[in-house]
Structure 1
Amino acid sequence: MCPCVCICIHPCVCARVSSQATAAWERTARLIQQRESLLARLEMFDKDASDPNRFFLQGYQGTSLARLDESKHRSILNSQICSLEMVLSKILHHITDSFHDTVTYKGRPYREKMRNTVTTDKSTIIENFNKHFSTAGHAFHLATPTPVNSTAPPTATRPSLPHFSFSQIQSADVLKELQNLDPFKSAGLDNLDPFFLKLSAEIVATPITSLFNLSFVSSEIPKDWKAAAVIPLFKVGDTLDPNCYRPISILPCLSKVFESQVNKQITDHFESHHTLSAMQSGFRAGHGS
């Protein structure tokens, strides 16, 4: 008996593909449908031994098999299923590699303008992007004109605000957050994929909640949760100009879940004590323009 090959298919990302790529997908769909048909035949063969047609099978190569003994029939079924899954695996790997090359590199090498020179060395490009993004705020401040004889605006008097302190996070809230994670989002530098956290939410919610509450007690946030992977995203203009890129930070998934719980407590405190101005719309639910 030929052992079946398991194929692990990750969540797909919707993307536009060229007409040349549709043939591979159509072939894949046909093979998947054929594989499901074979598996259904095998399941029927196992469940209903009295079925007179259980030995009949339209084979993978188009040959008809009839009235075979059980062991040979089962062997042929498993063999054809294995053959289909091996072909599917090769096609899916080929399509995945091609898709990754197309999406990541977009048909052109990474390039950057450095002192009127162009380089394709990845290490050099990373260093220069890092330097550019880390100094962009300071450069913007220097370029912003400041009035020479400006006076500071008068300080507005505000009533004293009610005391605020964080309360213990409940595991039920963390469980809900984990179950609502988008499985298509990228993992952070900790390599904890949101798809994995979503599937294991009921198991990991309690220990993760303990970590969140420990952060409140110790007044510290784990360093790994503050580290982000920065990706330069091209906006518009010259692809060689670093000013035409904006940094996208990918934080660890747990960091974003923790941030959501912290934000909820702070927002609820402000809303309940009417601290926020009625004119403030930014970052407030139900206050969009």
Structure 2
Amino acid sequence: MSQTRNRLPKRGRPLDSSPLNKTEKKHKDAEAETYCTIFQEVILEGEEGQDAAFCEGQCQSWIHRKCSGLTSQAFEKICESDDKYMCPYCLLSMQNCELKELRNIVKSLSEKLNQLTGSPPPANASKKETVQTVSTPESNTDIVMNDTSNDIAATVTSLINEEREKEKRKLNVIVHNLPECDDPDPSNRKSHDISKTSSIVDKYLSVPTTITQAIRIGKKREKPRLLKITFNSSQEKAAVLRSCTKLRKSYVPEDVRRIYITPDLTPKEQELNKTLRSQLAEKNKNDPENSPCLLVGGDFNFPDISWQDGYAHINPSPTYGTDANKLLVDTINDHGLEQLISVPTRGNNILDLILCSHPSLISNVEITPGISDHDAILYCFELPNKPLSDKIDHPIYLYHKGNMEGVKSDILDFQLQFLSSNPYSNDVESNWNNFKQAINNAITSHIPQKPPQSRSNLPWITPSIKRLMNRRTCLYRKAKSLQTEKAWNDYCILRNKITNCIRNAHTKYQTNLFNKNEKTNHKNFWKYIKNIRKDQHGIPPLNENGNTINSSKEKATVLNNKFQSVFTQENTTDIPNCDSTPHPIIPDIAVSCDGVQNLLETLDPSKASRPDNIPTRILKFCAKEIAPILTAIFIQSLTSRHIPNDWLKANITPVFKKGDRSNTNIYRPISLISVCCKILEHIMYHHIAEHLNTNNICDQILENLPFGHKETFWEN
């Protein structure tokens, strides 16, 4: 009771009266004595310090304000509030019961999860949890407080919040790239978004819907903001999401084709979706035909198999019978394994074997004395790194969609301008840069291009198979939605048809790889072999002076320094002077326009672009227009004794030979220089060779060489 005689707490009532309504205030019966539950003292009406509140929990009793720990402000709020008041002991007891129920639910769910996944129960499942007990004054009931109650409560709260987020979004979808209306009136903009979305859904998706709300998300910017659409029912939302792929069809206008519709995901679903996308992107970097790397080692105890150069030869009358030995050899061959031990491991026999499907991953194989009668085998096994990105670093030109005649016309215009402007008045570098710029401008103007893409696609998957696969996806979604036998039968029939088509296409592709009539068949063959290999692609970590080098830039620097160190640096300051020679003097090199044109027309258009980025296909197709320009540049280069800087550059590829892959000494460089520079080299080589053969100079030199050095002369 409060100090005012006629004022009681809103939730207060005498013990012998009926429960009060939430909005009522009644005075305690003066004749009945009411006791405080905690200290068993009589609550005196109208006395100072006798404020009391009635607990509507389990105890159903009166408690002094001071005994319950309530402040004056809290007591006043209880008097004015319609909420229930519970004493600390009843509140703690109720929370403990709820926590017990939550623990039982979590425990049962955990047991079901372990049964489904086959995972063993936690190691500490049988241990008793640490508990704390608190006794109430009126009973001996112990209130259990688990140390993990906070974690359980947090988990339950998170799940409840997630369900609330899903409930708020169950009728929503997100529309991307829908143009916004510039009307300053928000209601007009909202009407425009609803009408535009409805027309797209009705016209292209053929789904009757009723849109109840449309909201733009985020601040207005250059790109259209995301549009949150709310449908009238979940069935309409599901139908729209099932049919939204129709917006990608070719008959749909291009501005509508840029629009796509996605579900309205909760923050947790967005994070999960982001994680799945990153995992999928990481997985897609791997080879599509990802096969496992098999490594088997141990004591096989087959002394009658001799391993010569990695091949198995069964000796006559083997100890364990021919069938057992043949079974081991067939198993090794069937799984594509290679045996790497060639030294006896016990006596004169090779009993301990190391079998691996990727032998290039094993290095430094050594045989050392063991603790038994068998020798021990020590080797290094390099775990396959993630395949290096096979992404192309230059744009891909679509020549079959381009205007090649337009390219030829632009180059012809540049040729006339180049020859009429007296090119010999400029230096070689300027003329070359102008020519290269003209080629690039012509290609950019008339040849479309696409951005580089990963080379992980399967070449035997034809466009017709891709269309069937898209149709299969639609049938699967339809069958999953309808759940009818006919829909599932249609999906299964098409799925089996696609499987047979892919197998037949793969077999046909493999057969064509061995077709000798194909001129470029060897290139496709080795490309296919590279894709199905699981060895390390590119350069593995290198060992330089005891340091391991992992970054690509450092690897390139180390290999470049190694390649430079093995080349001879000629001393150009001390060149011997030949006063006289018994041989005729070589005439000046003559460069003709017809000869340059013939060399350009014999180029292979499939060759890759070199450091100057001039496609070989353009050089061949426009040979007649380009020949006069290159002829002038070649003559000027020979006359001035200078060559363009692009001709001094080369794309160098390190090629592994044999041995330890981390050793920089076993790599050999392969250089790709400018095609135009190679044409000039060919002209010079042909001129020198013709002079030597015409005057029999080679025969005279060979006569003076000692025996055994003639082959070396021709090789050099």
CA distance in 2, matches of 1:179, 1:133: 34
Tell me the residue number matched to 1:175. 597
Tell me the residue number matched to 2:462. 28
Q: 1:8 aligns with which of 398, 405, 410?
A: 398
Tell me the residue number matched to 1:118. 548
Identity rate, percent: 23
Point out where structure 2 has 5 or more consecutive residues left out of the alignment. Answer: 1-249, 255-396, 401-455, 469-473, 475-526, 569-579, 703-709
What is the TM-score of this pair, normalised by structure 1? Answer: 0.55
User: By how many angstroms is 1:31 displaced?
Assistant: 5.8
Asked whether the 8 Å contact 1:175–1:205 carries over to 2, the reply is yes
Q: Give the secondary-structure state (helix, strand or coil) at the position aligned to 2:669.
A: strand
Asked whether the 8 Å contact 1:166–1:216 carries over to 2, the reply is no
The count of residues paired between Structure 1 and Structure 2 equals 190
User: By how many angstroms is 1:119 displaced?
Assistant: 2.2
Tell me the residue number matched to 1:69. none
What is the TM-score of this pair, normalised by structure 2? Answer: 0.24
Larger Cα Rg: Structure 1 or Structure 2? 2
User: By how many angstroms is 1:26 displaced?
Assistant: 3.7
Q: Give the secondary-structure state (helix, strand or coil) at the position aligned to 1:232.
A: strand
User: By how many angstroms is 1:189 displaced?
Assistant: 1.2
Asked whether the 8 Å contact 1:233–1:246 carries over to 2, the reply is yes
Q: CA RMSD in A?
A: 3.9
Instruction: Map residues 13-92 of structure 1 onto 2, 5 A cutoff.
Output: 24-28=458-462, 30=464
CA distance in 1, matches of 2:597, 2:540: 41
Q: Residue deviations 1:96-134, cap 9 Å, x none?
A: xx98x959x964463211222322111111111111111
User: By how many angstroms is 1:137 displaced?
Assistant: 4.1
**Relative to 1, partners in 2 of residues 1:135 and 1:164: Cα closer, same or farther, differing over 3 Å?**
same
Q: Residue deviations 1:183-239, cap 9 Å, x none?
A: 233322111222221122121111011111111222222232122222111111111
CA distance in 2, matches of 1:233, 1:30: 38
Tell me the residue number matched to 2:643. 221
Instruction: Map residues 103-252 of structure 1 onto 2, 5 A cutoff.
Output: 107-108=536-537, 110-137=540-567, 160-252=582-674
Counterpart amino acid of 2:674? P
* More relative contact order, 1 or 2 (CA 8 Å, 6+ apart): 1
**Relative to 1, partners in 2 of residues 1:9 and 1:171: Cα closer, same or farther, differing over 3 Å?**
closer
**Relative to 1, partners in 2 of residues 1:165 and 1:31: Cα closer, same or farther, differing over 3 Å?**
farther
CA distance in 1, matches of 2:659, 2:651: 24
**Relative to 1, partners in 2 of residues 1:223 and 1:166: Cα closer, same or farther, differing over 3 Å?**
farther
Q: Which moved more, 1:226-235 or 1:250-259?
A: 226-235
Q: Give the secondary-structure state (helix, strand or coil) at the position aligned to 2:665.
A: helix
CA distance in 1, matches of 2:628, 2:467: 41
Tell me the residue number matched to 2:28. none
Q: Give the secondary-structure state (helix, strand or coil) at the position aligned to 2:461.
A: helix
Counterpart amino acid of 2:551? D
CA distance in 2, matches of 1:224, 1:258: 14
Asked whether the 8 Å contact 1:183–1:194 carries over to 2, the reply is yes
Q: Give the secondary-structure state (helix, strand or coil) at the position aligned to 1:25.
A: coil
Counterpart amino acid of 2:545? R
Counterpart amino acid of 2:607? K
**Relative to 1, partners in 2 of residues 1:282 and 1:190: Cα closer, same or farther, differing over 3 Å?**
farther
**Relative to 1, partners in 2 of residues 1:188 and 1:25: Cα closer, same or farther, differing over 3 Å?**
closer
CA distance in 2, matches of 1:283, 1:250: 25
Counterpart amino acid of 1:253? V
CA distance in 2, matches of 1:244, 1:126: 15
Counterpart amino acid of 2:678? K
Counterpart amino acid of 1:275? I
**Relative to 1, partners in 2 of residues 1:9 and 1:192: Cα closer, same or farther, differing over 3 Å?**
closer
Tell me the residue number matched to 1:72. none
User: Is it true that 1:255 corresponds to 2:677 in the alignment?
Assistant: yes
Q: Residue deviations 1:157-189, cap 9 Å, x none?
A: x95221223233111111111111122333221
Structure with a larger share of its residues in helix: 1
**Relative to 1, partners in 2 of residues 1:117 and 1:176: Cα closer, same or farther, differing over 3 Å?**
same
Tell me the residue number matched to 1:45. none
Q: Give the secondary-structure state (helix, strand or coil) at the position aligned to 1:221.
A: coil
CA distance in 2, matches of 1:166, 1:240: 48
CA distance in 1, matches of 2:531, 2:548: 22
CA distance in 2, matches of 1:27, 1:163: 61
Q: Residue deviations 1:37-83, cap 9 Å, x none?
A: xxxxxxxxxxxxxxxxxxxxxxxx9xxxxxxxxxxxxxxxxxxxxxx
CA distance in 1, matches of 2:645, 2:617: 23
CA distance in 1, matches of 2:543, 2:617: 38
**Relative to 1, partners in 2 of residues 1:221 and 1:243: Cα closer, same or farther, differing over 3 Å?**
same
CA distance in 2, matches of 1:181, 1:283: 29
Asked whether the 8 Å contact 2:589–2:684 carries over to 1, the reply is no
Asked whether the 8 Å contact 2:544–2:664 carries over to 1, the reply is no
Q: Give the secondary-structure state (helix, strand or coil) at the position aligned to 2:670.
A: strand
CA distance in 2, matches of 1:283, 1:195: 36
User: By how many angstroms is 1:9 displaced?
Assistant: 6.9
CA distance in 2, matches of 1:282, 1:114: 34
Q: Residue deviations 1:246-284, cap 9 Å, x none?
A: 011111110100000111111111111111127456797
Q: Which moved more, 1:188-197 or 1:257-266?
A: 188-197
Asked whether the 8 Å contact 1:186–1:250 carries over to 2, the reply is no
Counterpart amino acid of 1:112? L
